[in-house]
Copies of this chain bind each other. A is one copy, B any other.
């Protein structure tokens, strides 16, 4: 079965559109996505790439663009969601633990739902424990493991891997050795994985 790597950071706003629809896309398209959390903020800081901070026109557009696109995917977010996320790193440490333990997609969707639909910041309470409880994980156990040296190292390694692939933003897809950036490039990534060219 075709596998596409889905690179994202909890903290990326446009990733909401991808995270919430990806399981349905996988079923409809009969393909697999490998969920790859990384620290996009680290890469953006490294590369001097600041998407919205201090850019009110661009930030206002981003929220409006998400608001217009969400209904296409059956989503009803409350916008703007809190942004940026002070605890982005911890949120993604939990996600990478979830990737190791098999619950990354469920956790990511739960935390985004609470972020975009209930206004709860990922990486902070009550979102952290609530999202873990929602998916049947013990919050205390998972948070202790998420804060461990091993998990910190795993997130750093994933971030280095993303950077080496040429990823500079989230969400990104890697299909057939090529990077596709943005929720709006999902169709391109699928076409590329299938045919080595766009539809």
Measured between alpha carbons, how far is A75 from B148 in the docked complex, in Å?
51
Measured between alpha carbons, how far is A184 from B199 in the docked complex, in Å?
14
Tell whether A197 is near chain B: CB-to-CB under 8 Å.
yes
Query: How many identical chains are in the complex?
Result: 2
Contact B181 A65 (CB under 8 A): yes
Contact A58 B49 (CB under 8 A): yes
Contact B71 A188 (CB under 8 A): no
Tell whether A147 is near chain B: CB-to-CB under 8 Å.
no
Tell whether A47 is near chain B: CB-to-CB under 8 Å.
yes
Complex contacts, A169 vs chain B, CB 8 Å = 58
Contact B57 A168 (CB under 8 A): yes
Complex contacts, A47 vs chain B, CB 8 Å = 55, 57-58
Tell whether A34 is near chain B: CB-to-CB under 8 Å.
no
| Given A47-B55, A168-B55, A179 contacting B61 (CB threshold 8 A) | yes
Interface residues of A toward B: which range? 20 to 34
Residue with the greatest number of chain B CB neighbours at <10 A, chosen from A57, A184, A197? A57
Q: How distant is A181 from chain B, measured CB to nearest CB, in Å?
A: 6
Q: How distant is A75 from chain B, measured CB to nearest CB, in Å?
A: 12
Tell whether A135 is near chain B: CB-to-CB under 8 Å.
no
* CB within 8 Å of B: which A14-68 residues: 47-49, 54-55, 57-58, 60-61, 64-65, 68
**With A60-B166, A65-B181, A71-B198 given, can you name 14 additional A-B contacts, CB distance below 8 Å?**
A47-B57, A48-B54, A55-B168, A57-B166, A57-B168, A61-B168, A64-B178, A64-B179, A65-B180, A68-B197, A69-B188, A71-B197, A72-B198, A184-B184
Closest 5 CB pairs of A and B: A57-B168, A58-B168, A72-B198, A184-B184, A57-B166
